[in-house]
């Protein structure tokens, strides 16, 4: 068909396929962060920069899907989901990828490392923040089933349980954030003030990563509520 966009085929297979494709790309940006921090903490900046470029590539792909989806999202196609709701969900997903890129970008740009004594806490914190994104992705992957069941029945209960698990993960990240901030506070006097400021920023941004993942779950919860 003349003028058919790549998303047309995805819509033909699944009305929500492009939303899920976008979330998959978003998830890939976040899932690279544990290996990124492993390399940066080891001072392997060439490897860390390579991973950062991968994150940027996935973020760019997600942006491309987002732009095309906004332009081509059919009006009146979804009976159980409004176009406005889907575009809002898309925007919330997109913020996760942006934040993952910001986190890696500031670390590469400043060649930032956390004190060695904080590596264990940092690793646990990064992993749990990424866990939140993974769980949000699983929630989005249930959209097809939700649509098929008219947003009713057991599928809704399943998704609601997953969203509760996502909230638990986000709560875990809050606890880990307090722990790592406490460790950094204890070391502040031994570090350059500017470094401390940026380390706190990265800690906060990792927390935002989990917050934004939870926001995706919460947005979907309001859609099925």
Tens digits of residue pLDDT in 56-82: 999 999 999 999 988 887 665 555 677
Tokens of 159: 């998704």
Element (H, E) at 74: none
Please report whether residue 205 resides in a domain. Answer: yes
Please report whether residue 152 resides in a domain. Answer: yes
Query: How far is residue 58 from each of residues 24, 29, 76, 91, 136, measured CA to CA in Å?
Result: 9, 6, 30, 16, 17
pLDDT of residue 79: 53
Predicted TM-score of the model (pTM): 0.91
Q: Residue 131, SS3?
A: helix
* Helices 193-224 and 154-187, axial angle in degrees (round to 10): 170
Please report whether residue 1 resides in a domain. Answer: no
pLDDT of residue 9: 53
Domain that holds residue 94: 14-224
Q: The domain spanning residue 161 has which CATH number?
A: 1.20.58.220
Please report whether residue 191 resides in a domain. Answer: yes
């Amino acid at each position: 068909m003349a003028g058919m966009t790549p998303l047309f085929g995805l819509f033909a297979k699944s009305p929500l396929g492009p939303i899920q494709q976008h979330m998959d790309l978003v998830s890939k940006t976040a899932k690279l962060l544990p290996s990124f921090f492993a390399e940066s903490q080891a001072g392997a900046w060439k490897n860390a920069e390579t991973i950062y470029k991968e994150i940027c590539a996935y973020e760019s792909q997600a942006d491309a899907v987002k732009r095309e989806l906004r332009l081509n999202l059919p009006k009146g196609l979804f009976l159980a989901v409004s176009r406005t709701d889907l575009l809002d969900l898309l925007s919330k997903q997109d913020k996760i990828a942006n934040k993952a890129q910001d986190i890696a970008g500031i670390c590469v740009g400043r060649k930032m490392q956390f004190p060695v004594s904080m590596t264990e806490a940092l690793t646990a914190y990064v992993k749990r923040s990424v866990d939140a994104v993974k769980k949000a992705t699983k929630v989005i992957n249930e959209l097809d089933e939700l649509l098929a069941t008219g947003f009713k029945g057991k599928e809704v209960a399943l998704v609601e349980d997953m969203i509760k698990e996502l909230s638990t993960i986000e709560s875990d990240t809050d606890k880990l954030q307090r722990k790592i901030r406490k460790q950094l506070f204890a070391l502040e006097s031994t570090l350059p003030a500017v470094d401390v400021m940026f380390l706190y920023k990265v800690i906060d941004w990792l927390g935002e990563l989990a917050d934004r993942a939870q926001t995706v779950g919460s947005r979907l919860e309001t859609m099925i509520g």
